[in-house]
């Protein structure tokens, strides 16, 4: 069934009024008719099976006939602090990171970031949010990952990110993600810092380590920034969420 996230105000008891953008997709793109079933999510981790009762030019209205917890949300909250990159690469990380299970995205400005402006235009913010929402629907997430305003690395470290914290660095001394997460009590939150195309500067890694982060290696080969983000996120989820 097709899945759609909607705002809480779309619900009135069992009645669900789909917002215009989704209504247009149902009418014109998917060509669904009254009686068809869809899944509607309220971004709280619950999903509703909804039968369409009215599909016309005025509005699209459904009836919620079942409610259940979404079984697909990760059991660990992963915050990805991703250094800003070229638009297509950063947007790819947002999309695929959502599919993997990232819960929070924090864009970072670092020494070697090609983008140094922490002020993001409204149009770009809306585009990023749309990419995340569509990826959450496609991957059957129960919640839309949050997208935080861009921060400098210093600001992110000063805000005391959730521990354990990991920073991927090609010069790390052999400590792996499994080495950090595989021993001891299973954490409920993890912070993951990924650098830009040129990587983190040594002094940035030192500052991160002073703030309590562990510098980890992702293997013998040097990965592109967008590849590193997804590999590291997948490794975290494998250690703590899958199986």
The contacts of residue 146 (CB under 8 Å, 6+ apart) are 103, 104, 105
> Cα separations (Å) of 155 from 107, 109, 124, 161, 240?
11, 10, 22, 10, 27
pLDDT on residue 23: 95
pLDDT on residue 114: 81
pLDDT on residue 173: 87
Beta bridge partners of 46: 69
pLDDT on residue 243: 45
pLDDT on residue 79: 97
The superfamily CATH assigns to domain 3-69 is: Hypothetical PUA domain-like; domain 1 (2.40.240.20)
3-state SS class at 2: coil
Is the distance from CB of 101 to CB of 78 less than 8 angstroms?
yes
Tracing tokens 């703030």 back to the chain, one arrives at 211
118: left (phi over 0), alpha (psi -120 to 50) or beta: alpha
Domain spans in the chain, listed from the N-terminal domain onward: 3-69, 77-240
| Maximal C-alpha separation, the chain | 62
pLDDT on residue 48: 96
Quick one: fold of 77-240? Alpha/beta knot (3.40.1280)
Tracing tokens 């490794």 back to the chain, one arrives at 235
Q: Compute the distance between CA of residue 239 and CA of residue 192 in angstroms, rounded to an integer.
A: 14
Q: Compute the distance between CA of residue 132 and CA of residue 129 in angstroms, rounded to an integer.
A: 5
DSSP category for residue 28: I
Pairing of strands 46-55, 60-69: antiparallel
pLDDT on residue 78: 96
Q: Nearest CA to 99 among 233, 4, 203? A: 233
Pairing of strands 11-12, 15-17: antiparallel
pLDDT in tens, the chain (243 residues): 899 999 989 999 999 999 999 999 999 999 999 999 999 999 998 999 999 999 998 899 999 999 999 998 998 999 999 999 988 999 999 999 999 999 999 999 999 888 777 777 888 999 999 999 999 999 999 999 999 999 999 999 999 888 899 999 999 988 999 999 987 788 999 999 999 998 999 999 999 999 999 999 999 899 999 999 999 999 999 999 764
Q: What is the value of pTM for the model shown?
A: 0.89
* Range list of β-strands (E), the chain: 3-5, 11-12, 15-17, 37-41, 46-55, 60-69, 77-83, 104-109, 146-147, 151-152, 165-168, 189-194, 214-216
């Amino acid at each position: 069934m097709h899945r759609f996230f909607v705002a809480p105000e779309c619900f009135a008891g069992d009645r669900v009024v789909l917002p215009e953008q989704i209504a247009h997709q149902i009418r014109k793109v998917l060509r669904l008719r009254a009686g068809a079933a869809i899944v509607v999510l309220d971004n709280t981790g619950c999903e509703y099976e909804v039968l369409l009762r009215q599909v016309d030019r005025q509005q699209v209205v459904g009836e919620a006939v079942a409610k259940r917890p979404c079984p697909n949300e990760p059991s660990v909250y992963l915050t990805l602090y991703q250094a800003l990159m070229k638009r297509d690469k950063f947007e790819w990380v947002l999309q695929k990171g959502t599919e993997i299970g990232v819960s929070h995205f924090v864009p970072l400005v670092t020494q070697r970031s090609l983008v140094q402006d922490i002020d993001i235009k409204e149009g770009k913010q809306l585009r990023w949010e749309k990419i995340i929402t569509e990826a959450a629907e496609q991957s059957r997430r129960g919640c839309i990952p949050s997208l935080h305003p861009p921060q400098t690395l210093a600001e992110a470290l000063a805000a005391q990110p959730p521990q354990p914290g990991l920073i991927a660095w090609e010069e790390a001394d052999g400590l792996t993600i499994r080495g950090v997460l595989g021993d001891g009590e299973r954490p409920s939150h993890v912070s993951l810092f990924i650098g830009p195309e040129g990587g983190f500067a040594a002094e940035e890694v030192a500052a991160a380590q002073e703030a309590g982060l562990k510098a980890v290696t992702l293997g013998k080969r040097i990965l592109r920034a967008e590849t590193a983000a997804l590999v590291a996120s997948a490794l975290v989820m494998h250690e703590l969420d899958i199986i």
